[in-house]
Amino acid sequence: MERSLSFDVVRGYAGGPLISARAEWPLDRDPVTVLFGPSGSGKTTVLRALAGLDRPDAGFITFDGQTWFEARRRVFVRPQARGVGLLFQDHALYPHLSVAANLAFGLGAQTHAARQARVTELARWLGLTALLDRRPGGLSGGERQRVALARALAPRPRLLLLDEPLSALDGPARAVVRGELRHLLESAGVPAVVVTHDRTEALALGDRLAVIVGGAIRQVGPVDEVFSSPVDVEVARAVGTENVFRARVVRRDAGLVTLRAGEAELVAVDPGGTFEAAHACVRAEDVVVEPPERHDSSARNQLAGTVVARIEEGPLVRLTIACGVSLVALVTRASAERMRLVPGQAVCAVVKAPSINVVARD
């Protein structure tokens, strides 16, 4: 049987919403699952229940065949016994202890030599060696983040939980840490659950996306798939961007980057960095639909294709166009009528380079 995490977390708050979040996903493939949803949707409730910090009112939590919580049989495994590493939003480092003592905090059961060795190993891996004698109070946001990650990983947890890991950082630091965090999560070799309400964070960090809206998990799937084809309108509203493609860099040239996504090549503004893999995101309203014959335009991306689906949405029409990728476009009903945009119709989908949001993946 495949190793998996499955849970049904039920919790009511006085005067608040009822959380009833049920999901299951495998642990062996795709290490990073992003629990994504607007604030107040119940993400943190689920995360705290997984960590064992709160006891749900009902439901169950099973990790890799082991029951962590089951309301009916009154099973509740203490957080100490779960082997979970938790990264808090504000890092929750111990201000009265040095960085080295912070890292060693969860290693109390081991010998002094073993503790020392593990701290040295983690410090080397995360570039913290020069900081070991410092107190957390004097560290930068990015450094604190790495210390917190090292501390959580030190006791070799079986599951890593991250609560809004980048929210404590500001602008430029956030972009840098986002990139390195994905890399670290991949190389840590521990399945991780990342809670966030930030779309960019979800795209940059996640392999799998679990969308939670109104206390319920509505969709679980590969990140690009959930973004591109949400199961219902509420998930669509939560994720926001209609078109998300897995892409690889083909070349970089004069501030622009050419990406291959599916069978299509897209030119976008290079966000900088040396990434090879990325997510390319395009909002449906930024896709212009034109007749298929060649024409002149300033737009860099002109993708020939065919309309494959058409959904009426009030004054607008949502088209799905097969043009090497499956691209969703939003046009007015009047335009759709004038151009006879029905399934089978050949068209040219036009996207300006600045309309493509490129989120690095490594």
Partner 1 sequence: MDTAAIILSAELASLTTAILLVVGLPIAYWLVRSRWRLKFLVEAVVALPLVLPPTVLGFYLLVGLGPHSPAGRAYQAVVGEPFPFSFGGLLLASVLYSLPFAVQPFTAALAGVDRRLVEAAHTLGVSRASTFLWVTLPLAWPGVLAGAVLTFAHTLGEFGVVLMVGGNIPGRTRTLSVAIFDHVEALEYGAAHRTAGLLLAVSFLVLALVYALQRRPFLRWNDR
> Which residues sit at the interface with partner 1, rule CB under 8 A?
51-53, 78-86, 88, 90, 92, 94-96, 105-106, 108-109, 135, 137, 151-152, 154-155
CB of 81 to partner 1, least distance (A): 8
Q: Are 240 and 268 in contact (CB under 8 A)?
A: no
Q: Are 60 and 7 in contact (CB under 8 A)?
A: yes
CB of 7 to partner 1, least distance (A): 17
Q: Are 263 and 296 in contact (CB under 8 A)?
A: no
User: Closest CB to partner 1 among 81 and 277?
Assistant: 81
Of 88, 19, 40, 23, nearest to 197 by C-alpha is 40
Q: How many separate helices (H) and strands (E) can be counted in the chain?
A: 9, 21
Q: Are 118 and 102 in contact (CB under 8 A)?
A: no
CB of 95 to partner 1, least distance (A): 4
CB of 117 to partner 1, least distance (A): 18
Q: Are 279 and 222 in contact (CB under 8 A)?
A: no
User: Closest CB to partner 1 among 146 and 246?
Assistant: 146
Is residue 165 exposed (0-12), middle (13-18) or buried (19+ Cβ within 10 Å)? buried
- In the chain, the amino acid numbered 114 is A
User: Closest CB to partner 1 among 148 and 177?
Assistant: 148
Of 349, 223, 232, 226, nearest to 285 by C-alpha is 349
Q: How far apart are CA 88 and CA 51, in angstroms?
A: 11
Q: Are 6 and 24 in contact (CB under 8 A)?
A: yes
Pairing of strands 32-36, 208-213: parallel
User: Closest CB to partner 1 among 155 and 262?
Assistant: 155
User: Closest CB to partner 1 among 86 and 212?
Assistant: 86
User: Closest CB to partner 1 among 57 and 362?
Assistant: 57
CB of 124 to partner 1, least distance (A): 21
CB of 63 to partner 1, least distance (A): 14
Q: E strand or H helix at 225, and its extent?
A: helix 223-228
CB of 313 to partner 1, least distance (A): 44
User: Closest CB to partner 1 among 101 and 299?
Assistant: 101
Q: How far apart are CA 83 and CA 122, in angstroms?
A: 18
User: Closest CB to partner 1 among 43 and 151?
Assistant: 151
Task: Centre a 10 Å sphere on the Cβ of residue 101 and count the other Cβ atoms it contains.
Answer: 16
CB of 202 to partner 1, least distance (A): 23
